Amino acid sequence: MIIVGQGPFGEKVLEALIKKGEDVAGSFSPPDKRGEAMNALAEKSGISSFRPKLMKDPQVFNDYVKLQPDLAVLAFVTDIIPEKLISVPSLGTICYHPSILPRHRGASAINWAIIQGDIRTGLTILWVNKGIDTGPILLQKEVEIGPDDTTGSLYFKTLFPMGIEAIVEAVELIKKGKAPRIPQDESKATYEPPCDDRVASVNFEKPIKEIYNLIRGCDPQPGAYTAFKGKRVRFYDAKMFPSSIDKRSGEIVSVEDGGLQVAVRGGLIQIGKLRVDKGEKTEPKEFAQSIDLKIGDRFGK
């Protein structure tokens, strides 16, 4: 088999398959630092390592053909995999996706599950076809989304380790000839765009739960943001305190060691850390001093 991936997840998937004694013929990872860990592990393990700039490079197809893989495993792949690569492995290509497909297709599945207020999500191992996250389902795992979960906590504490185990399980099912190919129900499909600054702006006129979910869903990336004194301020480590409050939406109510509290429709949002533009995350008091923020000031102005 061959593994295509990047970052800590790609590295840990490769490590897990090596430990299981799987015959990994090749590792494909980006040429920048995202691919360094996978590349180092592959070289240490005597596995051929490839670092293409793009998976559509003609040389990648040539490398695939030379390796003659029976299976390709996509472990956190953000590049487009050309259709002609998908069919090279004799048994096909499988991919990890962090949602219960067909819900939340796209590159930011975890973000959108939280932003849209889902109380459950999970992961899917699917057979790759030419569509975006549209292939038949091999296996799925479900988890609860806690009321205080962020995209970061949900991924690193749950969907990351569970995803490694699921890929190992999927490979075992394929080897035994017991891997299903369950068509997705297109009537239930949703697809959302990447979670970036085009969707991460906080509207303080919205209900408290929507604002809270947006901040959680954008934590740690890209960071939900608002404007203050001409600067872009990002919010992290949020908490929600529903109540009746007679304050203007976006008004800063308090700045304490534990958090900065902002009035919204239906209560208070407490922000644990803030970041200005491309600076470092700071505690509320330090932030307030650095930008001359006072109680009674309003975000979004």
Count structural domains, the chain: 2
Q: CATH number, domain at 106?
A: 3.40.50.170
C-alpha 206/C-alpha 298 separation (Å) is 15
* Residue 133 sits in the same domain as residue 280: no
Identify whether the C-beta of residue 91 lies closer than 8 Å to the C-beta of residue 29.
Answer: no
The residues of the chain scoring below 70 in pLDDT are 301
Residues 54 and 172 in one domain: yes
194-202: which pairs have CB atoms within 8 A and are 24 or more residues apart? Answer: 194/106, 194/107, 194/108, 195/108, 195/111, 195/112, 195/115, 195/151, 195/221, 195/222, 196/222, 197/222, 197/225, 199/115, 200/224, 200/225, 201/225, 201/226, 202/226, 202/235, 202/299, 202/300
Domain-located, residue 69: yes
Residue span of the structural domain in which 256 resides? 208-291
pLDDT digits (tens, 9 = 90+) for 196-238: 999 999 999 999 999 999 999 999 999 999 999 999 999 999 9
CB proximity list for 63: less than 8 A, separation 6 or greater: 26, 28, 50
Distances, alpha carbon 85 to alpha carbons 57, 92, 127, 195, 291, in Å: 11, 10, 13, 28, 52
* Both tokens assigned to 89: 């492995």
Q: What is the pLDDT, as a whole number, of residue 5? A: 97
For residue 258, count other CB atoms closer than 10 A to its CB. 12
Amino acid 19: pLDDT: 97
Tell me, yes or no, whether 250 lies in a domain. Answer: yes
CA atoms within 13 A on the CB side of 282: 16
Whole-angstrom distance, CA of residue 212 vs CA of residue 272: 13
Q: Do 80 and 213 have their domain in common?
A: no
Same domain, 184 and 53: yes
212 and 168 in a single domain? The answer is no
Domain assignment present for 21: yes
Same domain assignment for residues 221 and 275: yes
Q: What digits encode the pLDDT tens for the residues 278-287? A: 899 999 999 9
Same domain membership, residue 156 and residue 32: yes
Distance CA(54)–CA(82), nearest Å, equals: 10
| pLDDT on residue 301 | 67
Q: Does residue 182 sit in the same domain as residue 215?
A: no
